[in-house]
């Protein structure tokens, strides 16, 4: 496991001494004429790069729910080696779009567990939801972004977390490490997450994964919130860099 930071693609120059990995938080408006500029920026930074799909597009939550959203996810995959995708598997054609996305790129595609508290709205929060997806689409580049706060915003978080590790230790490829008070995401130490337990079980993961301290506003003031979070978790075994240049994604 190694640390990464999350910000807008124009805003990573401050982050080199905090973490080696990057997660670009995409805005749809940047995905058209600015795509090649984004690629050039990422290339010049020369660091492992994940890209998060836009949260909202066309006035609704992104869920890989139509061809347009598929097109945006394909663009994200042109920038980073790993793409964090919000998926709504209830929408018809979702497995086909997921397959098309995987076939359109060499990047790793990681579906994120969404907040358990909003399960009715998101429908991709619990291990059983992911099982339904993997039963239909199984691919060596299809994985999971495990968001720790989202687990702690749902029912029986510790049990749910354990089931993710038990069932998907080979699928979890990316981590959002953040505390939660049960309703909102919080800075590390300001919520209810049992980090001793979390890190003990994460040691069972089968792959090298980037860990983003995705605390609210962490990028503000040259990453002051990320710095605080990483320092707070310094007793756990997370490296500064991937285990080897070929170990990620
Ligand atoms: Zn997300």
- Do the domain assignments include residue 241? no
Q: Can you give the pLDDT at residue 120? A: 67
Question: Measured on CA atoms in the order 185, 189, 193, 195, is the torsion positive or negative?
Answer: positive
CATH of the domain at 219: 3.20.20.150
- Per the document, the length of the chain is 249
- Do the domain assignments include residue 10? yes
- Measure 146 CA to ligand 1 centroid, in angstroms: 9
Q: Can you give the pLDDT at residue 168? A: 97
pTM of the prediction? 0.96
**Do you find a cis peptide bond into 166, omega within 30 degrees of 0?**
no
- Measure 45 CA to ligand 1 centroid, in angstroms: 23
- Measure 145 CA to ligand 1 centroid, in angstroms: 8
Residue 5 CA from chain centroid, whole number:
11
- Do the domain assignments include residue 239? no
- Do the domain assignments include residue 248? no
Q: Can you give the pLDDT at residue 117? A: 82
pLDDT tens-digit readout, 47-58 = 999 999 999 998
- Measure 91 CA to ligand 1 centroid, in angstroms: 18
Q: At residue 226, does pLDDT exceed 70?
A: yes
- Do the domain assignments include residue 179? yes
Among 12-16, 96-100, 122-126, 151-155, the least confident range: 122-126
| Mean pLDDT estimate for the chain | 95
Q: Can you give the pLDDT at residue 8? A: 95
- Do the domain assignments include residue 243? no
- Measure 8 CA to ligand 1 centroid, in angstroms: 14
For 94, the domain range is: 2-232
The H or E element spanning position 22 is strand 21-25
- Measure 54 CA to ligand 1 centroid, in angstroms: 9
Instruction: Provide the percentage of residues in the chain whose pLDDT is more than 70.
Output: 98
pLDDT tens-digit readout, 36-75 = 999 999 999 999 999 999 999 988 999 999 999 999 999 9
Reduced to 3 states (helix: H, G, I; strand: E, B; else coil), residue 108 is strand
- Do the domain assignments include residue 249? no
Question: CA of 129: how far to CAs of 111, 135, 224, in Å?
Answer: 11, 10, 35
- Gap between the Cα atoms of 21 and 138, Å rounded: 27
Give how many domains the chain has, as a whole number.
1
- Do the domain assignments include residue 247? no
């Amino acid at each position: 496991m190694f640390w990464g930071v999350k910000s807008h693609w124009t805003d990573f120059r401050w982050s080199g001494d905090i973490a080696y990995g990057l997660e670009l938080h995409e805005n749809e408006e940047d995905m058209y004429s600015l795509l090649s500029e984004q690629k050039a920026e990422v290339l010049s930074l020369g660091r492992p790069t994940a890209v998060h799909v836009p949260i909202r597009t066309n006035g609704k939550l992104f869920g890989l729910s139509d061809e347009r959203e598929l097109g945006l996810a394909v663009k994200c995959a042109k920038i980073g080696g790993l793409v964090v995708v919000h998926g709504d598997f209830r929408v018809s054609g979702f497995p086909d779009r997921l397959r098309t996305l995987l076939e359109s790129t060499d990047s790793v595609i990681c579906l994120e567990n969404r907040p358990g508290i909003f399960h009715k709205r998101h429908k991709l929060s619990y291990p059983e939801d992911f099982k339904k997806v993997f039963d239909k689409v199984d691919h060596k580049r299809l994985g999971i972004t495990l968001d720790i706060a989202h687990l702690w915003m749902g029912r029986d978080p510790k049990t749910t977390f354990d089931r993710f590790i038990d069932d998907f230790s080979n699928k979890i490829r990316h981590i959002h490490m953040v505390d939660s008070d049960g309703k909102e995401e919080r800075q590390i130490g300001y919520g209810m997450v049992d980090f001793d337990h979390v890190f003990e079980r994460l040691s069972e993961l089968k792959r090298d994964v980037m860990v983003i301290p995705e605390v609210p506003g962490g990028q503000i003031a040259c990453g002051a919130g990320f710095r605080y979070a990483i320092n707070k978790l310094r007793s756990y075994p997370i490296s500064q860099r991937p285990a080897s240049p070929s170990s990620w994604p």
